[in-house]
Amino acid sequence: MKKAVQIISVITLVIFISAFTMYEAPLVDNGYKIGDVAEDFSLKNIDGNMVSLSDYKDAKGFIVTFTCNTCPYAVMYEDRINDLNKKYASKGFPVIAIMPNNTDVKPGDNMEAMKVRAKKKGFTFPYLIDEGQKVYPKYGATKTPHVFLLHKTDNGNVVKYIGAIDDNYKDASAVKAKYVENAIDALLSGKEVEQTETKAIGCSIKV
């Protein structure tokens, strides 16, 4: 009898799983690839204002960084994200930070907590919330921190680099390759980005 219930349960499960293969869902794997044009967005900043890439008339590009309060990797990179903005905003590449997590799952990432964190760390860049989680899947962000470097062209904001900020999460002073800085420096001097994609461990975006 027990066996029968088990078998029926498994069969029911399998039927439901196969039934839903027909569905089309927005897939993270379908996110932007190098060379794609990134869509603009309008997301709420911690100061209450809505922010779009098109607001930045003089920008040459953007360091779009998916990050959050609660991921230890993201926290380890907070100072470095701040430094990136300080170094490159004036050169035309500001940091646009986006918090992609579902705040019902991670209350520590809600707007109030974002405000507190930004104030404590002295964020000099907009820290936006991806309310409704519509933006991160378009980018194909899977984790925090996850950087997408955009280059503004006549055709739109072209994705030039996807990945990590550098090659040593533990120790900023031991970094050998500053991936994001190298990519921006190349763009600023009219060259192609050499290393266009890197991988790093991060916290999965909470849905």
Partner 1 sequence: MLNYNKYTEVLINFKAMKLKLLIVAILIITSCKQEHKSAAESIDIAKKEVDTINSNNVVLEVYDYNGFEKFLNKKDDKTYVINFWATWCAPCVKELPYFEKLNSQYLDKNVEVILVSLDFPHLYESKLKPFIKKRKLKSKVIALDDVDMNSWIPKVNQNWSGSIPATIIYKNDNAKFFEQSFTYQELEIEVKHFFN
Which residue of 169, 180, 181, 187 would you call a contact of partner 1, by CB under 8 A?
A: 169
Choose one: 8-16, 45-53, 77-85, 149-157; the region binding partner 1 (CB under 8 A): 8-16
Instruction: Kindly state whether residue 5 participates in binding partner 1, applying the rule CB under 8 A.
Output: yes
- Residue 164 binds partner 1 (CB under 8 A): yes
**How far is residue 17's CA from residue 14's CA, in Å, rounded to a whole number?**
5
Residue 29 is which amino acid?
D
Interface map 102-121 toward partner 1 (x if CB under 8 A): ----x---------------
Residue 74 tokens read as 């993201």
Residue 72 binds partner 1 (CB under 8 A)? yes
Are the C-beta atoms of residues 133 and 105 closer than 8 Å to each other? Answer: no
Q: How far apart are the first and last CA of the chain?
A: 38
Q: How far is the CB of 81 from partner 1 (least distance, A)?
A: 17
DSSP 64-130: EEE--SS-HHHHHHHHHHHHHHHHHTTTT--EEEEE-S-TTT-GGGSHHHHHHHHHHHT--S-EEE-
Least distance (Å) between residue 169 CB and partner 1 = 6
Q: Which positions lie near partner 1, rule CB under 8 A? A: 2-3, 5-6, 9-10, 12-13, 16-17, 20-21, 23-25, 27-29, 71-72, 106, 142-143, 146, 163-164, 167-171, 174, 179, 198-207
